[in-house]
Structure 1
């Protein structure tokens, strides 16, 4: 059951509009149970989801068929990035008000979105280096490294760097959003602050620090999580939180590994379009643990 706090924060009405429900029932009756087939303008489905706009955004610059898969896959990822960001922020905010059940629910929901995100790499799984080379020059210096939606996720995970805002300096709204995430506690910071409030041995320097700095692992924080894991009863909400965070972290690592594999398959060790050394940079990033103490403690308990 969700806590009272979570229920009070829920912005969604628990019941549907009575008039709209009656209209739907009347329409179904008049249609004899069949779908409506006649509309005077765009179908409501097209208008509601902006389908015309969505499908107009695929504009390949070459005649290579694989470029369409590359563009669509990239756009799907960007959409799911935004969904994951929303759910991680909801989880972070729930933790800041001691609503652990609410936070766990949002993390579980985020994991479902992360699974969809990871499966998107399948759209690139059969792309050969020859196909990629036919359209690679068409996107110039464009690189996933420049995705501000992905950068928001990294900041939410605690991987902070003010320098990573610089590529977006011409986009004032993006700079504002990234700066806000840079200066606020990350999802993991919020979890540690919760443990600190609950009396676990998270040091003051972890509960209150310069949020703009990249998170650094702490032996004291590891000991706090070890205490959480010492009580693995189903009713221990902190234990459930820890495992939900691990589920999130595992999926982030999997996404990085899939990214590495896709690049290795399509372009090997060539320099990246965004100016990095490509494969080597991705390999180093894939090796970094997300929420590090939740992994290191497994060697000690």
Structure 2
């Protein structure tokens, strides 16, 4: 008979009465006790964990986007590239998560949908921070968070800070590109308006990538991020339509029509439009 293997005989620590364990470090007791279904429907646990894990990934995205913007502002572009590449991989994880949620059928969701009340992913303040950080700035989206002064303060502070795209354009200007003054000095809290001068600057980079390789790499990292972000939005629309059809969202939005409208939002429009002109 094969003897049971004891890792302790080879030095593995087996007692944690006086030491920090894996569960302690990760606060697993807190995380794993944070699921509180409001119904007895089997699939509500899937729904809760899907959204909780998405919020954890978004927490990491915000951590990386914050550091990437600070690096770009300091002209430390190489570290920013690693952070932005990580953000794209996080978006890939978020996209894959929709495949799990799509195993829930309309009948499954109907069994607990009423228990959600008016709660909706539309109200995710971390998602709103990500949109604001990337450059999709819409002050009207502060309203769903007005009941939380702490969250509102975070969102307002974000609107007062240059977005990822603003910082990228300022870095491009410092590197010698002709970025229009009205863009460099714009109200950073206002929604982005596509500018021919910005497209012309990026077109210069793409016409001669060898000369502007660092900016070329920065531009492609931004496009990667938006590419995955667009896929996330598309997967969101598809999943919602598959599960609830054209019903209104629990948070009062138009549901699928609202999400389809969000597909039209562009974070870095000039980087996409210059491709036609090359």
Q: Calculate the TM-score normalised by the size of structure 1.
A: 0.86
Equivalent position of 2:242 in the other structure: 265
Matched, 1:289 2:266: yes
Distance 1:245-1:129 versus aligned 2 partners, 3 A rule:
same
Gaps of at least 5 residues in structure 1 are 1-29
| 1:48 Cα offset (Å) | 0.7
What is the distance in 2 between the residues matched to 1:78 and 1:234? 40
Alignment counterpart, residue 120 of structure 1, candidates 88, 97, 105: 97
The structural deviation recorded for 1:180 is 0.9
Distance 2:261 2:146 in 1: 26
Asked if 1:252 corresponds to 2:229, the answer is yes
Which residue of structure 1 lines up, in the alignment, with residue 188 of structure 2?
A: 211
* Contact 1:252–1:290 (8 Å) recurs in 2: no
Give the gaps of 5 or more residues in structure 2. Answer: 1-6
Say whether the 8 Å CA contact 1:184–1:211 is kept in structure 2. Answer: yes
- Equivalences for residues 105-254 of structure 1 within 5 A: 105-233=82-210, 236-254=213-231
Which of structures 1 and 2 has the larger relative contact order (alpha carbons within 8 angstroms, sep 6+)?
Answer: 2
> Where does residue 25 of structure 1 map in the other structure?
none
For the residue of structure 2 that corresponds to 1:199, the secondary structure is: coil
SS in 2 for 1:287: coil
Confirm or deny: 8 A CA contact 1:218 1:293 kept in the other structure.
yes
- Which whole-Å CA distance do the structure 2 matches of 1:42 and 1:72 have between them? 29
- Report if the CA contact (8 A) 1:225-1:294 is conserved: yes
Aligned to 2:45: 68
- The residue that corresponds to 2:33 in the other structure is 56
Matched, 1:79 2:73: no
Please tell me whether the aligned partners of residues 160 and 215 of structure 1 are also in contact (alpha carbons under 8 angstroms): yes
Alignment partners' CA distance in 1, 2:222 and 2:163: 12
TM-superposed deviation, 1:36: 2.9
- Tell me how far 1:150 sits from its aligned partner: 0.3
Secondary structure (helix, strand or coil) at the match of 2:157 reads: helix
| CA distance, structure 2, for counterparts of residue 123 and residue 173 of structure 1 | 33
Q: Aligned partners of 1:139 and 1:31: how far apart in 2?
A: 47
Output the aligned Cα RMSD: 1.8
**Distance in 2 between the 1:91 and 1:53 partners?**
30
Spell out, residue by residue over 1:213-252, the C-alpha distance to the aligned partner (whole angstroms, 9 max, x if none). 1111111111111011122239711111111111111011
Q: Aligned-pair distance for 1:34?
A: 5.2
Number of residue-to-residue matches in the alignment: 272
